[in-house]
Homo-oligomer: A and B are copies of this chain.
Amino acid sequence: MARQEQRSACPIACALDLLGDRWTLLVVRDMTLLGKTRFSEFLESPEGIATNVLSDRLQRLQDSGIVISGKDSEDGRRVLYAMTKMGLDLLPMMLELAVWGAKHRPQSGVPKELQERYLADKDQFLSELRERVKRSSSSILPAE
């Protein structure tokens, strides 16, 4: 996955130039659906991402404008990561991927209640989730 490489005008291919990598999408999942904001939290995810891979993917996501980072307003020594507006727009795609996984990968576990709420009213579910994810960036100090 070369940075900013573009080989076609297809919107899917262009999106995959930034996202077409399993680890990238797992970091996006951590930040959108699991509410994680810190490097150490991403490392703890059960898939076991390596430190150097995580650093690389976080840098790429920032270079692409999908993620921002900054100092924690409550503890200036701590760095937090959060989705930008561009990153928040990935929520519908991530949720459809989750629905597919829950349906076709029987070994996966997802709370049935959560899935039913999403399928009953996708727009409402998305707007609640979007607000929650937005809040996770509120402790990031603006860059000087």
A141 in contact (CB, < 8 A): no
A104 to B14, CA, bound (A): 9
Residues of B within 8 A of A65 (CB): 104
Residue in B14, B20, B86, B99 whose CB lies within 8 Å of A25: B20
Count of chain copies: 2
| A89 within 8 A of partner (CB) | yes
A7 interfacial by beta-carbon distance below 8 Å: yes
Evaluate contact between A92 and B96: CB separation under 8 angstroms. Answer: yes
Pick the contact of A100 from B29, B90, B105, B108 — CB < 8 Å? B90
> B10 near A108 (CB under 8 angstroms)?
yes
Closest CB in chain B relative to A114 CB, distance in Å:
10
Which residues, 3 to 32 on A, are CB-close (under 8 Å) to B?
6-23, 25-26, 29
